Amino acid sequence: MRPNVLTRTLVSITAVAGLTAGGIAAAGNSFAASQPAAAPVVASQDLTVLAVNNLGLNASEAKKVQRWAKQYWSYKGAIDGQLGTESWKAIQRCLKEAWGYKGAIDGIVGSGTLTALQYMLRDGGWGYSGAIDGIAGPKTTAAFKNFANGI
């Protein structure tokens, strides 16, 4: 019985080795690396950040923030309920003037923007009680809703 076990083992190993070798040989063309395509050349002035970040606001609440930004912070975009780059640039102007924002007026909602927003939501009486950590957690979004509904 022992030779039968040895034969089966050798046949199994040979079969696995053959399948592996055949699979690698057949995959030669299908998995071959092609030359990378040339990246399109784009001038930096052509790039635009298209992100919308409502920080938990619905469209109606975001429109309130846009109206406020238009009235007080030179927002020139549409009142469309989508807090995009232009909306956030206006909010950043507010944050820079009154709430310690030190970053660029670029419309990107990064940790600096969120940190200043958290100060505004806490010290401005909008109910923020969380850490000033630059993270848009549930307390930040809840206070931002309070702000939107109270302006």
The arithmetic mean of pLDDT across residues 81-85, rounded, is: 97
- For the chain, the structural domain boundaries read 51-150
pTM for the model: 0.68
Does position 128 have pLDDT exceeding 90, yes or no? Answer: yes
Can you state the angle between helices 85-98 and 59-72, rounded to 10 degrees?
60
Tell me the pLDDT tens digit for each residue of 29-77: 444 445 555 555 545 444 444 579 999 999 999 999 999 999 999 999 9
Tell me the pLDDT tens digit for each residue of 87-113: 999 999 999 999 999 999 999 999 999
